[in-house]
Copies of this chain bind each other. A is one copy, B any other.
């Protein structure tokens, strides 16, 4: 049996035991030396398996590595498929792939009737006007947001003036035609929004920003609520992206 097959096996064995099992027992069950078993466990862990080992006790596989069976109502399936189709059609390539990948995973753990529901779903996203392509990789922005890292941006505002600045990115807003990255701007010492298609370059810095993302979001919402509006009778949430320019106030 090749090593890769053995790893699949080990996973199944671990899944079967819910009580801790000693490495020696596992090694015996799989037919391999103890030394090799330790290496195998390390391999699985490297792939994200949360296998916990305690001295004197043994190993347990914590859930969360493999996707358990899932159950949904037909309407929930439709909602998931529709949402994923929207992402697949309207977001950048990486996210689009991720949406399809997530659907595929869900489909694999669905009972057959629901899987059929998923495959035959008749809710479609109509292609819209083409979205301006980004000069930079949007996945980088998401990664910076996820890991709360600072970004050094080269940005061209609506008037064409370009600038360089460091921002603390904490959100991405998807409009029909445009995407805005929202962050705290060190240059302006204030919140700013940046159209992703106007970001000429973005470099993720080593430094993490000092505030938690959730708190930035919360503060930003308050800030936004308090902002004077050029057209106050339009609800703030409905303002088109240009109404909140990256830097026209500068």
Inter-chain CA distance A195–B98, complex, in Å, is: 31
B72 near A83: Cβ-Cβ < 8 Å: no
Judged by DSSP, the binding face of A is helix
Asked if residues B74 and A84 are in contact (CB atoms below 8 Å), the reply is no
With an 8 Å Cβ cutoff, the count of chain A residues facing the other chain is: 92
| 159-212 of chain A: CB within 8 A of chain B | 170-176, 180
Any B CB within 8 A of the CB of A51: no
A71, B76: Cβ atoms closer than 8 Å:
no
Q: Which residues of B contact A180 (CB under 8 A)?
A: 126
Find out whether the CB atom of B237 lies under 8 angstroms from the CB atom of A8. Answer: no
> Residue-by-residue, is A98-135 near B (CB-CB < 8 Å gives 1, otherwise 0)?
11111011111111101101011011111111100000
Nearest CB of chain B from residue A188's CB, rounded to whole Å: 20
Tallying the copies of this chain within the complex gives: 2
- Give min CB distance, A218 to chain B, whole Å: 11
**Closest B residue by C-beta to A18:** B119
Instruction: Considering the complex, give the chain B residue whose CB is closest to the CB of A123.
Output: B172
Closest B residue to A128 by beta carbon equals B176
CB of A225 within 8 Å of the partner chain: no
Q: Is the C-beta of A82 less than 8 angstroms from some C-beta in chain B?
A: yes
A76 and B64 in contact (CB under 8 A), knowing A18-B119, A126-B174?
Answer: no
A66/B76 in contact, CB under 8 A:
no
A5 contacts B by Cβ under 8 Å:
yes
Within 8 A of B (CB), among A205-232: 213-214, 217
Q: Give the distance in Å from the alpha carbon of A107 to the alpha carbon of B80 in the complex.
A: 13
* B213 and A110 contact, CB distance less than 8 A: no
Cα A123 to Cα B175 in complex, Å, equals 11
Whether B87 lies near A82 (C-beta < 8 A) is yes
A38 within 8 A of B: no
Partner of A68, one of B66, B75, B91, B217: B66
Which chain B residues border A15 with CB–CB below 8 Å?
A: 104-105, 107-108
Residue of B nearest to A217 (CB): B122
- Determine which of B12, B124, B129 lies in contact with A172 in the assembled complex, contact meaning CB atoms within 8 Å: B124
Chain B neighbourhood of A105, CB < 8 A:
12, 15, 69-72, 76
Supply 13 further A-B pairs (C-beta < 8 A) apart from A12-B66, A74-B146, A82-B83: A47-B70, A64-B111, A65-B108, A66-B67, A66-B69, A73-B98, A75-B95, A77-B102, A78-B146, A82-B95, A122-B171, A124-B171, A125-B173
